[in-house]
Structure 1
Amino acid sequence: MVQLSTLLTGAVGLATVVSAHPGHDVKAEAAERASALKSIRARGLSQCATQLKARGVEAESVARRDASLQKIRQARGLTGPLLKARDTTPLTTSHESNLTVDIDTDPSVLFASGGACVLAEDVTQGPYYVTGELIRKNLVEDQEGVPLYLDIQLVDSETCEPVPDVYLDFWHCNSTGVYSGVVASGNGDTSDETNLDATFLRGIQKTDTSGVAEFETLFPGHYTGRATHIHVLSHPADTTTNDNDTLSGLYTTTSSHVGQIFFDQDLISLVEASDVYNTNTQELTTNADDSILSQELADDIDPFVEYVLLGEDVTDGIFAWINVVIDSSQSTDVTPAAYLTEDGGVENPNSGMGGGGGPGGPGGEAPTGVPTGFPTGAPPS
Structure 2
Amino acid sequence: MRFNHLLPGLALLSAVTQAHPGHDISELVAERAAHFATNAPRDISHCAAKLKARGHQQRTIDRRSALLKREREKRGIMASEGHLKARALDAPLEIRDAASALNTTHLSPTTYTPDTDVNTLFASNSSCVLVPEVTEGPYYVSGELIRSDVRDNQTGLDLILDIQVIDTATCEPVSGVYIDFWHCNSTGVYSGVVASGNGNIGDTTNLNETHHRGLQETSSDGVAQFTTTYPGHYTGRTNHIHVATHTNGTVLANNTYSSGTVSHVGQLFMDQNLTSQVEATGVYATNTQTLTTNAEDSIFSQEAASGDPVVEYSLLSDDINDGVFAWIAFGIDASASKSITAAAVYGENGGTATGNSGGGGAPPGDAPSGTPPSK
Instruction: Determine the structure 2 residue equivalent to 1:361.
Output: none
Matches within 5 A, 1:183-194: 183-185=194-196, 189-190=200-201, 192-194=203-205
Is 1:199 the counterpart of 2:210? The answer is: yes
Other structure's SS at 1:256 match:
strand
Q: Which residue of 334, 339, 342 corresponds with 1:333?
A: 339
The aligned amino acid for 1:136 is: R
- Structure 1 residue 246 displacement after superposition: 1.2
Instruction: Determine the structure 1 residue equivalent to 2:94.
Output: none
CA gap 1:134/1:31 in 2 versus in 1, 3 angstroms: same
CA gap 1:319/1:9 in 2 versus in 1, 3 angstroms: farther
- Structure 1 residue 145 displacement after superposition: 0.5
Q: Which residue of 286, 300, 307 corresponds with 1:279?
A: 286
1:179–1:187: 8 Å Cα contact kept in structure 2? no
Instruction: Determine the structure 1 residue equivalent to 2:132.
Output: 120
Q: Which residue of 238, 243, 250 corresponds with 1:240?
A: 250
- Structure 1 residue 311 displacement after superposition: 0.5
Other structure's SS at 2:282 match:
coil
**Structure 2 CA distance, aligned partners of 1:256 and 1:245?**
22
Is 1:71 the counterpart of 2:77? The answer is: no
Is 1:55 the counterpart of 2:65? The answer is: no
Unaligned runs of 5+ in 2: 92-99, 364-375
Is 1:255 the counterpart of 2:262? The answer is: yes
Other structure's SS at 1:199 match:
coil
- Structure 1 residue 356 displacement after superposition: 3.9
**Structure 2 CA distance, aligned partners of 1:154 and 1:14?**
29
2:196–2:202: 8 Å Cα contact kept in structure 1? no
1:175-232, Cα deviation, whole Å (9 max, x unpaired): 0000000114469943643111100010000000100000010110000111111000
**Structure 2 CA distance, aligned partners of 1:275 and 1:296?**
30
Moved more, 57-66 or 28-37: 28-37
2:245–2:262: 8 Å Cα contact kept in structure 1? yes
CA gap 1:312/1:243 in 2 versus in 1, 3 angstroms: same
**Structure 2 CA distance, aligned partners of 1:138 and 1:213?**
11
**Structure 2 CA distance, aligned partners of 1:196 and 1:188?**
17
> Over aligned residues, Cα RMSD in angstroms?
2.2
1:177–1:221: 8 Å Cα contact kept in structure 2? yes
* Identity rate, percent: 51
- Structure 1 residue 321 displacement after superposition: 0.3
Matches within 5 A, 1:290-301: 290-298=297-305, 301=307
Other structure's SS at 1:333 match:
coil
The aligned amino acid for 2:69 is: Q
The aligned amino acid for 1:58 is: Q
1:94-151, Cα deviation, whole Å (9 max, x unpaired): 8686443113311111101134213225x11112100111000100012010100000
Other structure's SS at 2:251 match:
coil
Query: What is the TM-score with the length of structure 2 in the denominator?
Result: 0.86
The aligned amino acid for 1:276 is: V
The aligned amino acid for 2:348 is: E
Other structure's SS at 1:235 match:
strand
**Structure 1 CA distance, aligned partners of 2:109 and 2:237?**
27
**Structure 2 CA distance, aligned partners of 1:76 and 1:117?**
30
The aligned amino acid for 2:49 is: T
Instruction: Determine the structure 1 residue equivalent to 2:372.
Output: none
1:22-68, Cα deviation, whole Å (9 max, x unpaired): 11111111211121122222111211111111111111101110011
- Structure 1 residue 297 displacement after superposition: 2.1
2:195–2:202: 8 Å Cα contact kept in structure 1? no
2:102–2:294: 8 Å Cα contact kept in structure 1? no
**Structure 2 CA distance, aligned partners of 1:315 and 1:241?**
36
The aligned amino acid for 2:254 is: N
Unaligned runs of 5+ in 1: 1-7, 358-381
**Structure 1 CA distance, aligned partners of 2:76 and 2:264?**
37
Is 1:85 the counterpart of 2:92? The answer is: no
CA gap 1:66/1:209 in 2 versus in 1, 3 angstroms: same
Other structure's SS at 2:288 match:
coil
| Structure with greater helix percent | 2
CA gap 1:14/1:170 in 2 versus in 1, 3 angstroms: closer
- Structure 1 residue 296 displacement after superposition: 1.0
**Structure 2 CA distance, aligned partners of 1:207 and 1:215?**
11
1:131–1:336: 8 Å Cα contact kept in structure 2? yes
**Structure 1 CA distance, aligned partners of 2:86 and 2:233?**
21
**Structure 1 CA distance, aligned partners of 2:329 and 2:103?**
23
Other structure's SS at 1:271 match:
helix
**Structure 2 CA distance, aligned partners of 1:28 and 1:187?**
28
CA gap 1:25/1:187 in 2 versus in 1, 3 angstroms: farther
2:166–2:332: 8 Å Cα contact kept in structure 1? yes
- Structure 1 residue 268 displacement after superposition: 0.5
CA gap 1:293/1:165 in 2 versus in 1, 3 angstroms: same
